[in-house]
Chain A
Amino acid sequence: AQKITQTQPGMFVQEKEAVTLDCTYDTSDQSYGLFWYKQPSSGEMIFLIYQGSYDEQNATEGRYSLNFQKARKSANLVISASQLGDSAMYFCAMRENFGNEKLTFGTGTRLTIIP
């Protein structure tokens, strides 16, 4: 079974609008971490934001925020005031439990910002 599901293969958003990228996950662990990475066309993976399973508040990093709904097992990324430079692939990833640092990635969402 897929552990990280990103159901939006592609999205088009008008510049300056907010956008939500969906991510649902599946784990039986109580302790886990959720990450979002951005991959521009140049190929590098850029860390955006992290949410721990025990964090009570949603994580925020500048224009990025993570809408964490633990009961629904969702960790959606919200980008406010989108910019042309936000056009990229976005990957949701999960790290399960303390002893296993491997990241399991979703299939990604290709975001295109329209001027």
Chain B
Amino acid sequence: DSGVTQTPKHLITATGQRVTLRCSPRSGDLSVYWYQQSLDQGLQFLIQYYNGEERAKGNILERFSAQQFPDLHSELNLSSLELGDSALYFCASSAGAGVTYNEQFFGPGTRLTVL
């Protein structure tokens, strides 16, 4: 158990809908990362938050957005869902930012299926 929790574990929805994925980082970790794992794109970094502020952005679509709340949990919002958004979405957390060794601990993932 990495200490990172994600809810829900599974999500099935229809095209055009909007969903929210939730992540609670390990106790004390200030950085939260979101990754998408799909069959065709592999594992891709989406976005990072550090202590409530957006720190880095990767291949995140404009239909997707994220935020980190004062209690450090994070939510990833996916809207106008398409079939291609079906994937395993991981949240990871780490203690800090801008340091040499910054191990990321991954949550169990949320498997999103868009029908």
Contact = CB atoms under 8 A, between A and B. Distances in A.
Interface string B72-115: 00000000000000001010101001111111111111010000
B48 A44 contact: no
A101 B100 contact: no
Interface in B13-57: 31, 33, 35, 42-45, 48, 55-56
A46 B109 CA distance: 12
A102 B58 contact: yes
Nearest to A102: B45
Nearest to B99: A98
B48 A102 contact: yes
Q: Name the interface size band of chain B.
A: 20 to 34
Contact of A95 (B42, B43, B102, B108): B102
Interface string A26-46: 000001010101000001111
Q: Name the interface size band of chain A.
A: 20 to 34
B65 interface: no
Interface in A67-115: 91, 93, 95, 98-108
A50 B105 CA distance: 12
B53 to A, nearest CB: 13
B43 A102 contact: no
A104 B45 contact: yes
Given A37-B106, A102-B56, A50 B98 contact: no
Interface of A: 31, 33, 35, 37, 43-47, 50, 52, 54, 91, 93, 95, 98-108
